[in-house]
Amino acid sequence: MTKNNFRSEKRVGKSKAYKADERQKAADQKNRHFDPEKRREDRTRAAENKKSYSKFPKKRTNTSFSKVKEGSIPSDKVRINKFLAQGGTCSRREAEKFITAGAVVINGKVVTDLSYRVSPSDLVKFNGQTIRGEKKKYVLLNKPKDFITTTSDDRGRKTVMQLVENACSERIYPVGRLDRNTTGLLLFTNDGDLAKKLVHPKHGVRKIYHVTLDKKLAKHHFNAIVSGLTLDDGPATIDQLSYIDGSSHNQVGIELHIGRNRIVRRIFESLGYEVMHLDRVVFGNLTKKDVKRGSWKHLDKKELELLRML
Beta bridge partners of 159: 148
pLDDT of residue 99: 92
Does residue 144 contact residue 293 with C-beta atoms inside 8 Å?
yes
Residues listed for the chain: 310
pLDDT at 53: 47
The predicted pLDDT at position 68 comes to: 44
Q: What is the pLDDT of residues 212-241, one digit of tens each?
A: 999 999 999 999 999 999 999 999 999 999
Helix and strand numbers, DSSP H then E, in the chain: 8, 17
Please identify which of the residues 35, 113, 154, 179 carries the catalytic annotation. Answer: 179
More confident residue, 209 or 126: 209
Residue 179 known to be catalytic: yes
Task: Put the strands of the sheet holding 104-106 in their side by side order.
Answer: 109-110, 104-106, 124-126, 129-131
pLDDT band per the 50, 70, 90 thresholds, residue 91: confident
By CB neighbour count within 10 A (0-12 exposed, 13-18 middle, 19+ buried), where does 171 fall? middle
How far, CA to CA in Å, does 177 sit from each of 58, 166, 184, 195? 58, 20, 11, 12
Task: Please name which of 221, 307, 310 lies closest in space to residue 267, comparing C-alpha atoms.
Answer: 221
Instruction: Measure the CA–CA gap between 96 and 93, rounded to whole angstroms.
Output: 5
Reply yes or no on whether the pLDDT at 247 is more than 60: yes
Spatial distance between the Cα atoms of 113 and 128, rounded to a whole number of angstroms: 18
Burial class (CB in 10 A: 0-12, 13-18, 19+), 211: buried
How much is the average pLDDT of 169-196?
Answer: 91
Q: Give the pLDDT band of residue 171 (cuts 50, 70, 90).
A: confident
Q: Residue 52: what pLDDT?
A: 45
| Closest residue by Cα to residue 81 from 71, 91, 68, 69 | 91
CA 210 to chain centre: 28
- Overall average pLDDT of the 31-54 stretch: 64
* Domain covering 78-131: architecture: Roll (3.10)
Element (H, E) at 227: helix 219-227
With 50 as the cut, is the pLDDT of residue 65 above it?
Answer: no
Domain ranges across the chain: 17-47, 78-131, 138-308
CATH architecture of structural domain 138-308:
2-Layer Sandwich (3.30)
